[in-house]
Structure 1
Amino acid sequence: MTELQRRPTLMDVAKAAGVSRALVSIVMRGAPGAAESTRQKVLEAARELGYRADSRARLLRSSRTRLLGLIFSSSQPFHAEIVDAAYAEASARGYEIALSAVAAGRPEARAIETLLDVGAEALIIIAPTLSTEDLALHARRVPVVSLLREDVGGLVDSVSSDDHAGIRIAVEHLASLGHRRITHVDGGTAVSSDQRREAYRAEMLRHGLVPVVVPGGPDEESGMRAGQALQADLPTAVIAFNDRSALGIMESFRAAGISIPADISVLGYDDSHFARLSYVQLSSISQDAPLLAAAAVDRAVDRVEGTLPPGRVVRTPHLVLRKTTGHAGAQKVGQN
């Protein structure tokens, strides 16, 4: 390794600043004992040298890592929004976040083991797909918080959104606009799909309406297939499993010359950044990603630092109105 490639050390900073290595260590740790003028001189030398503290060495010296492991799906934009919010909350609690993605060829179990190997003191898993038994095995090693999935057994904490409340809000909104033929495109085998599907059926029946479920999935391609299937007998409104599915449905309608919302209303779920794009403007059920992330981080930290038993946090979603839902056409109102 050349001199230019070598990572600057505390001793390098000490020589540049003209102080002892011990004094540099005090400044870098933020500990008391250094005058303000000395502190500024050390920090300036560190900046000029490009010095960065070796976090790995710090972790090896400490019995605490203050590290929260966060497992997410690389294919889900909504997960990315949760990750962004989790960083801020973890920092406020004095913790760091280590990420591990679930991707093609990288299963959830591998993502978890990677974080345990680097010393994560707790795990936050977004929409876990492991069985309750497997989750319990991990929860016997470190606290585990399931985010977006509630049915995770008694050893695992959960932070979730009330899917039934979200679907109730969706059905009530569309019914208030005069829609009677409201179809649900489900999420297939995705986490929360079963809960939203059953909530949709219950809410439609509660309104005296006939529930119609079209098989779908959690991505745009499955939404496009569902949208094409819907065109054989077009309803007046669609509730999609999530925003990605809704985008696929909308694209299939636009390709067929079907106007949104004049011919059909489309309502998404998650209020992801896709829904907020100026050329999309998708009405959606918001799960409040920042609030969910904050609750999950707080739960993980509280479990690490205390003796709290596993618990449940359930948040109520809300409707965000944009431009893809409107009143049912006069010629369609009242159809069954």
Structure 2
Amino acid sequence: MSEKAARPRLEDVAARVGLSTASVSLVLRGVPGPSERTRQRVLKAAAELGYQPDRNASMLARRRSRLLGVMVDIHSPFHAELVEHLHTAAEQVGYDLVLSTQTRTRDEATAVETLLAFRSEALILLGPVAPAATLVALHQKAPVVSVGRRIPDAELDVVRTADDDGVGQIVDHLTGLGHRSIAYVDGGKGVIATDRRRGYREAMRRHGLDDHIRVLHGDHTEEAGERATRQLLSGTRLPTAVVAFNDQCAIGVLTALGRAGVPVPGAVSVAGYDDDALSRLSCFNLTTVSQSAEEQAHHAVTAALERLDEDRTEPREIILPPRLVVRGTTAPVA
């Protein structure tokens, strides 16, 4: 007696056309995004296989919120740019975003609670600082994608750039211009700050500049850049170059040097990190490192959908290569 043929599944249609189940699901649900050619291929394969949607699954799907929760630091220009690209990536696959902000008086835990209260199906956290164990526990409630922060050996997905390599590229650029006295304004606590600080130290050692390593206390704000620069100005001799944790901090460095009448890049070269919107303004024209915000956003949304629509359980870490962007704040040593 022969067994009854297995009912065709969504995965079978995806395999037939060589697409992800998420893409096939979009076509079969009539969601905007896939091209007409892709739609025709998927519909033809579904017809040939005799695929019929599971009505129970469809009923469950209709009760889904189709919302992705995003935690964002309201003070970060780079996060604002990420959110813009996340909106675009989410809309292309039939989802919308719920935003919850971190501020000086509203912490990460509160922001996440709000996202869950709005029935976000997955959480995309921009630069989370909570302990890894806390994020893993949160992942049990809803799939979590950490953007920007390395989380070793965790069950959740990570999308980030190689921060240590990015800072290393800046140091390589400056040493190529003849700089040896290169100071670094730190980003404070946290994994991202640790990785960028390590990148600075390793690059300085690689160029034989161990004796010139100087790390100044700082954080991610313009005020931190100004404080660190005032400390440098109070010393006996300025470094010929300053690398800052991020663009906001670098703008603080530029501000303090400008007030002191120190020409940039004539006397001191300055570089930041993030390539945010402010760094591109002509009044700053800041040398920096691009984190490919659009690409990070695309990968973050894709990772969330794979968890939701494809039932992927294996964690994934996507590491994008950073890219040095040379502008007008760095020049050869005078």
TM bin, normalised by shorter chain, reads 0.7 to 0.9
1:192 aligns with 2:197: no
SS of residue matched to 2:160: strand
Which ranges in structure 2 are unaligned for 5 or more consecutive residues? Answer: 1-28, 32-58
Does the residue aligned with 1:274 lie in a helix, a strand or coil? helix
1:301 and 2:314 are equivalent in the alignment: no
**What's the counterpart of residue 105 of structure 2?**
105
Q: Conserved in 2, the CA contact under 8 Å of 1:71 and 1:124?
A: yes
1:326 to 2:331 alignment = yes
For residues 198-224 of structure 1, the C-alpha deviation after alignment (integer angstroms, 9 at most, x for no partner) is: 111111011011311111111011100
Report if the CA contact (8 A) 1:135-1:152 is conserved: no
With over 3 angstroms needed to count, the CA separation of the structure-2 counterparts of 1:141 and 1:248, relative to structure 1, is: same
Cα deviations by residue, 1:60-96 (Å, 9 ceiling, x for unpaired): 9932111110001111111000000000001111111
Paired residue for 2:132? 132
In structure 2, the CA distance between the partners of 1:214 and 1:61, relative to structure 1 (3 Å rule), is closer
Gap change, CA 1:285 and 1:30, over 3 Å in 2: closer
Report SS of the residue matched to 1:270.
Answer: coil
CA-based RMSD of the aligned residues comes to 1.9
Q: Which residue does 1:9 correspond to in 2? A: none
d(CA) in 1 for partners of 2:106, 2:181: 41
Give the alignment of 1:1-336 within 5 angstroms.
62-151=62-151, 153-209=153-209, 210-231=212-233, 232=235, 233-308=237-312, 309-329=314-334
Q: What SS does structure 2 have at the residue aligned with 1:159? A: strand
SS of the counterpart of 1:106? coil
Shift of 1:30: 8.9
TM-score, structure 2 normalization: 0.79
Is the 8 Å Cα contact of residues 150 and 191 (structure 2) preserved in structure 1?
no
- Given that residues 144 and 156 in structure 1 are in contact (C-alpha distance below 8 angstroms), is that contact kept between their aligned partners in structure 2? yes
Structure number, greater radius of gyration: 1
Equivalent residues of 2:164, 2:197 under 8 A apart: no
Residue 256 of structure 2 aligns to a residue whose secondary structure is: helix
Q: 1:116 to 1:60 in 2, by over 3 A?
A: farther
Identity of aligned residues (%): 41
Following superposition, the deviation at residue 307 of structure 1 comes to 2.4
Aligned AA (2:167): I
Q: Distance in 2 between matches of 1:151 and 1:75?
A: 23
> How far apart, CA to CA, are the structure 2 residues paired with 1:292 and 1:89?
10
Aligned residues: 274
Q: Distance in 1 between matches of 2:93 and 2:282?
A: 35
Query: Normalization by structure 1: what TM-score?
Result: 0.78
